[in-house]
Amino acid sequence: MGFLSGTSMIPAPTRGFYGWRMVVFAAIALALTGPGQTVGVSVFVDPMIEDLGITRTQVSTAYLIGTLTGALALPWIGQAIDRFGIRRTMAVIGVVFGAFLMGMAFVSGIVTMTGGFIGIRMMGQGALSLVATTSVALWFGRRRGLAMGIVAAAGGVGMTLIPLGIERVIDASGWRTAWVVEALVIWLVIVPLALLFIRNRPSDIGQHMDGDPEPPTGAGEAWGVSRREALRSPFFWLVTATVATTGALTTAVVFHQIDLLGSRGFTPTQAAANFIPQTVATLIATLGVGALADHISPRLVLALSMIFMGVGLALGTVVSLGLSGIAFGMLIGASGGAARVVEATELPRYFGTLHIGAIRGVVTAIGIAGAAVGPVLFSLGHDATGNYSMVLLLSTTIPIAVIVATLVIRMPSHGEPDDQGEAHLLAASRD
């Protein structure tokens, strides 16, 4: 009965706001997207190339195809979240994600590898990440930025730990066993977490968003515009452009970081160490911007993200060992962290949560597509000029264009009800 209806299978808590527990559960789910993220896949690349006798270019192409193809399904997965709820959708994603990870253990060539990449990128990087962060949007309103910042920071730390553990499994038992281990972890953690502990909305257990004793006067908990209407809003495309820009350029820098910094005099070890300030800055940005997003205009946060990116890219043309290297890493990391938090907080704020899965599914798909294309564009720029300076400088024009857009694009006329229930609510409509 509980699974079919999408309601909880355990009694409602007798004390405390359940939303903070949802923050913990969402952070766990976000961390376990690691096997489908680039950082998690990277530890498998060399042993699979050596064992299967395929080239690095073939693997890179398969990964590009897998990422782009997997992104195509995300708008429909977002609709499934709206229709069936967080709980049931997360459970199904967990089952399918685990199955694709298990399938990676039986890869025999480039064709089966491409099919596996499609599955793990779609289910891990895309679907599980989407459902985890969307769950927070349904439980928080006034404190959504803070909650999302905590989830992004904690989940990000957990995500980066996955390659460390899996690399040991690969060394001890081989890459095929490591894929099996990841599949079992997903099945044993994500599926029970979804079925036993995830609650779709506060109303399922008699609570209200943010733990308030009563909802805002004159407003119900679930409201929102349709995806079609959101797509007509310039603000939607401003947020999407920010996410796509940081996705494409951050991934491009990270993908080529060893070679890029090597051309500036860094050793491979020193270039790899630059991931540390990037990670630290990402954590600071997700927590800091998360807290600020509840109190300041999204225009400012979006502009800050693009300023960080533009300055970081420009600095990459002259970066050297020392403070400039640390600053380069921190600027790139801070940009991505800020953009992720503002997307997850501002879209529910201005477009509601009734169709938020479908709306965020489009943004996530475009962001992942950008992440797939970015490294290729940097490679082409490097091949054409023999260095990264020109492509870095040309890339700064993209965040500059987004900054200009933040100054001229009008904000939506609708938004979440305030404490007095005075904000205008659009009638909810279906796609």
Nearest 5 degrees, angle CA 366-CA 125-CA 188?
A: 155
The 10s digit of each residue's pLDDT in 22-36 is: 999 999 999 999 999
Percent of the chain with pLDDT over 70: 90
| Among candidate residues 161, 158, 95, the one with its CA nearest the CA of residue 128 | 95
Positive or negative: CA dihedral 414, 417, 423, 426: positive
pLDDT at 256 over 70: yes
| Side chain identity, residue 352 | G
The 10s digit of each residue's pLDDT in 90-118 is: 999 999 999 999 999 999 999 999 999 99
The 10s digit of each residue's pLDDT in 366-417 is: 988 888 888 888 888 888 888 889 999 999 999 999 999 998 888 877 555 5
Contacts of 291 (CB under 8 A, 6+ apart): 145, 146, 149
- Answer with the residue of higher pLDDT: 425 or 301: 301
pLDDT at 13 over 70: no
- Answer with the residue of higher pLDDT: 6 or 61: 61
Q: Give me the residue label for tokens 């704020």.
A: 349
Query: CB–CB of 248/336 below 8 Å?
Result: no
At 220 the pLDDT is 47
Architecture of domain 17-200: Up-down Bundle (1.20)
The 10s digit of each residue's pLDDT in 310-359 is: 999 999 999 888 899 999 989 998 998 888 888 888 888 889 888 988 89
Pick the CATH number of 227-408 from 3.40.50.80, 3.30.70.1170, 2.40.50.140, 1.20.1250.20: 1.20.1250.20
Three-state SS for 153? helix
C-alpha dihedral over 132, 70, 120, 45, to 10 degrees? -130
pLDDT at 9 over 60: no
The 10s digit of each residue's pLDDT in 184-239 is: 999 999 999 999 999 998 988 889 888 888 765 544 456 788 889 999 999 999 99
Average pLDDT value for the chain? 85
| Among candidate residues 180, 6, 34, 8, the one with its CA nearest the CA of residue 107 | 180
Residue 195 dihedral angles phi and psi, to the nearest 5°: -75, -35
Q: What is the helix (H) or strand (E) element at residue 328, kind and residue range?
A: helix 323-351
Query: CB–CB of 66/116 below 8 Å?
Result: yes
Bridge partners, 352 (sequence order):
224
Report residue 181 as tokens: 């281990």
Q: What is the average pLDDT across 251-262?
A: 83
pLDDT at 423 over 60: no
Q: How far apart are CA 89 and CA 67, in angstroms?
A: 21
- CB-based burial of residue 274 (10 Å sphere; 0-12 exposed, 13-18 middle, 19+ buried)? buried
Percent of the chain with pLDDT over 90: 41
Query: CB–CB of 112/331 below 8 Å?
Result: no
Q: How far apart are CA 241 and CA 367, in angstroms?
A: 8
Contacts of 318 (CB under 8 A, 6+ apart): 324
Q: How confident is the model at residue 280 (pLDDT cuts 50, 70, 90)?
A: confident
* Tally of CA atoms within 13 A in the half-sphere of 235 that contains its CB: 19
CATH 1.20.1250.20 spans which residues of the chain? 17-200, 227-408
Bridge partners, 55 (sequence order):
none
